A and B are shown apart, each in its own frame.
Chain A
Amino acid sequence: MTSVLFQRARVIDPRNGVDGIRDVLVTDGRVAQVSEAPLVAPKDARVVDATGKWVVPGFIDLHVHLREPGEEGKETVLTGCRAAVAGGFTGVVAMPNTKVVNDSALVTELVLSRARDADLCHVYPAGAITKGLKGEELSEAGELVGAGCVALTDDGRPVMNAALMRRVLQYATLFDVPVMVHEEDLTLSAGGAMHEGATSTRLGLRGIPASAEVAMVARDLVLLEETKGRLHVAHVSCEGSVRLIREAKKRGLRVTCEVAPHHFTLDDRAVGDYDTHAKMAPPLRGDADVKALREALVDGTVDAIATDHAPHGVSDKLVEFEKGINGIVGLETALGLTLALVHEGVLTPRRAVELLSEGPARVFGLPGGHLAPGSPADITVVSPGEEWTVDAHRFYSRSRNTPFHGRTMKGRVSQTWVGGRCVFEDGQLKESR
């Protein structure tokens, strides 16, 4: 029997209404006891003095690109898992737009097998909505869910065909998995390289109007209402989208959504002089959008913070802005950017933890996300006040594409525990192999 005792921690467990100084005892990979009174460490238990630290449910990222199979030079399941646990994540949802696309049990099983080999954190594959992400034929959702997929998505691409979108919302109710959507009307975004606004005009770059996202959110909410399905809107970036989702939630529709840290931190001015590290899809929006996203994080419209971790090689970004590939890595900076909102007084610590752990677990129906006795001991220990400077060269991810290199952050992952095993501690991985 292996045990761990976290002493004098500030335990924040939103689902169970806990926010206070507690001792937490973990036995055999599960939470055994959370107590206000000091606990006595069992014989041979590891004792962690967590004074001044937060002990919270392990973070879960609903939106990660692990690039395997097909683009292992950018990331692999193993390197992605290393980056995840370094960022405090004990579970990640792997997007299917790999090269081979995850539209069959075979690819799902490959990803799960690589995740078992990595043996660091939980990897939950998402399966493609359509075969080859072509937006034409539905992939076999039953087979994908049977093999372990937790959601269906053509992420990276919208489902432009409304009839097909309507059908997948209907069909997925068979398995009760969310349909996760990248909302972008390609006829509105065509040729665009950044958000349409004063900055795109100044830089002479073709803009992507907010309507490219909002119009598709509106369409899918109409289809959702008709089909009684489950819709999860990925990486919401603008004010119009959160307004529609807020209203739909009020009317009882089964819609959830996530926001990426870069979208609530930066606006389109971050493109500066054509910095491709600020190029992503959806693009960084205007300051009114950033403000609206922050409000939506506070008021419950947003269910989860998800990174859209998108590793790319140096040469993908060292090109003309229009040619630059979309996306940034996010796993290792997510906590710092989220805590910046706490330090600014936008989010309470409890709400921040909810958005990183309880919320994502709830929307995709994943294990973890809370610390009640009996739940898996997936735990993140946070040093909320520790200052550090982002150095992309020291990322565990195989890629370094981030606009946050050099940024000073306040708040850092101290330890990451998965199933009662410490996998990351004081900046170092603790790999079992």
Chain B
Amino acid sequence: MRHLLGIAGWRRDELEALLDRAQEHLPGGPEASHVLRGQVVANLFFEDSTRTRSSFEVAARRLGADVLNWSFAGSSVSKGETLLDTARNIEALGPAIIIIRHRSSGAPHLVARHVKCAVVNAGDGAHEHPSQALLDAFTLRQRWGSLDGRTVLIVGDVLHSRVARSNLVCLKALGARVVLCGPPTLLPPGLEEMGGEVTHRLDAVLPQADAVMCLRLQTERMAEAFLPSQREYSRLFGLTPARVERMKPDAPVLHPGPINRGVELSPAVADGPRSVILEQVANGVAVRRAILERCAS
């Protein structure tokens, strides 16, 4: 059984092979695979995420699977059932793959240790969001052919971001240089050990970036005193048209969504020519098809 719990531990050739396969799943690609025909894929979402859940659902259906959508709201979990009990109950329904989103880092690892089917991590706490990182890498590779020697700048709340961690590991593995930028309170220790470079001066690094990836800022970070205000964050780290002017001419802007318009990104940037946000969403289905196929193999 091939789980996908994170990007950490993957070799470059494995990542490249998966991205190559995803390429074949793009619209207009070769004959569709129905490797999951007659099988069940369970979407086990303990946290709301219409975007990721829908993307996995479309991907699973394109592979011929029946999709079981299970969500936290009104479920047995709210009645005190443990994660493992829930997972075992879902497993008893016989899915080939369980896709799990959970607010606790490591939750998919716990499930994977105790079920027989494949487990896909669809985002766990502040740990990893591997399918997002793969679709981001896919989107960049589509533009550049290769990530070798490219500099990707990740801006924002790295501390709480699973997207940032998965991307750091994934982009590094594929040959890119990764620079992480944000206020000191939102950049945790040890990022250098994971291969990243750290800076707090956005304007100074923007000209070096071949791509800029903005992270979503949660409003509760102000209440927790990581930041004085959204306004100040936006002033120091928001991507505005003026800042885009400082970027390399063709450097794209990525965002995992959903966007806080006017906070991480000015509306003009979010909807502007540099934005590849909707390409990311579209690529997500192809990448997730490749992931599910791999888990089924």
Contacts and interface: CB of A to CB of B under 8 A. Distances in A.
A334 to B, nearest CB: 28
Given A318-B84, A319-B110, A198 B190 contact: yes
A199 B165 CA distance: 12
A295 B124 CA distance: 38
B58 interface: no
A319 B84 contact: yes
A203 B169 CA distance: 12
Interface of A: 196-207, 273-274, 315, 318-323
Given A315-B82, A318-B84, A323 B104 contact: yes
A204 B162 contact: yes
Interface in B120-168: 124-128, 162, 165
A204 B128 contact: yes
Contacts of B193: 198, 202
Interface in B171-199: 188-191, 193-194
8 contacts: A201-B165, A203-B106, A204-B124, A207-B189, A320-B83, A320-B107, A321-B104, A321-B105
B150 to A, nearest CB: 23
A12 to B, nearest CB: 42
A202 B190 contact: yes
Nearest to B106: A274
A197 B13 CA distance: 30
B165 A202 contact: yes
A204 B128 CA distance: 8
B220 to A, nearest CB: 12
B227 interface: no
Given A274-B106, A320-B83, A203 B127 contact: yes
A321 B191 CA distance: 21
B244 interface: no
Given A197-B189, A198-B190, A207-B188, A273 B109 contact: yes
Interface of B: 8, 82-84, 102, 104-107, 109-110, 124-128, 162, 165, 188-191, 193-194
B242 to A, nearest CB: 32
Contact of A205 (B8, B83, B125): B125
Q: 10 tightest CB-CB pairs across the interface, nearest first?
A: A198-B190, A204-B127, A274-B106, A204-B126, A320-B104, A204-B105, A201-B190, A201-B188, A198-B193, A321-B106
Given A205-B105, A274-B110, A198 B82 contact: no
A315 B83 CA distance: 11
Nearest to A271: B106
Contacts of B165: 201-202, 204
A207 B189 CA distance: 10
Nearest to B107: A320
Contacts of B124: 204
Question: Which one of B106, B110, B191 has the highest number of Cβ atoms from chain A below 10 Å of its Cβ?
Answer: B106
B102 A320 contact: yes
A201 B110 CA distance: 19
Contacts of B84: 318-319
Contacts of A199: 190
Nearest to A323: B104
Contacts of B126: 204-206
Given A198-B194, A202-B165, A204-B128, A274 B82 contact: no
